[in-house]
Amino acid sequence: MLYLFLDNWNIANFRVQERVKLGGHFIPEEDIKRRFFRSQKNFWNIYRFLVDEWKLIYNGINFKDVAKGNQDDYILLEENKFNKFIEEVNK
C-alpha cells in the first residue's frame, strides 16, 4: 500500500480549488479537512496492519519516501517528515 500525505489540510484544499478552476469537481472545505485527518489516522491505526507492505510518501513540492514497512515493523527514511505525520495522527 502506498499512502501519500501533505503537511496540512490547507494544501489539499488549495489543490482542490486549483482543480476546480480547471474544470474539476468541487469538494466543500469542511469535507477536505475532515477527510485529511481521518485518512491519516486510518492509515496509521488500521490500514498498515492489513497489508503485507506499506510505504509512507510525502507529496509536497517533491515526493519523498518517508517510511516503509510491514505492519508494525518499519524503517524511517525521512525522520522529520515522519515525526510531522505522527504528530498530526496523534492530534
Query: How sure is the predictor about 19, in pLDDT bands with cuts at 50, 70 and 90?
Result: very high
Question: In the prediction, which pLDDT does 61 show?
Answer: 87
Question: In the prediction, which pLDDT does 89 show?
Answer: 96
Question: In the prediction, which pLDDT does 72 show?
Answer: 82
DSSP string over 11-24 = HHHHHHHHHHHTTP
Per-residue pLDDT tens digits for 28-64: 999 999 999 999 999 999 999 999 999 999 999 889 9
Measured distance CA(36)–CA(78) in Å, rounded: 21
Per-residue pLDDT tens digits for 71-84: 889 999 999 999 99
Burial degree of 54 (CB within 10 A; 0-12, 13-18, 19+)? buried
- Would you say the pTM of this structure is higher than 0.75? yes
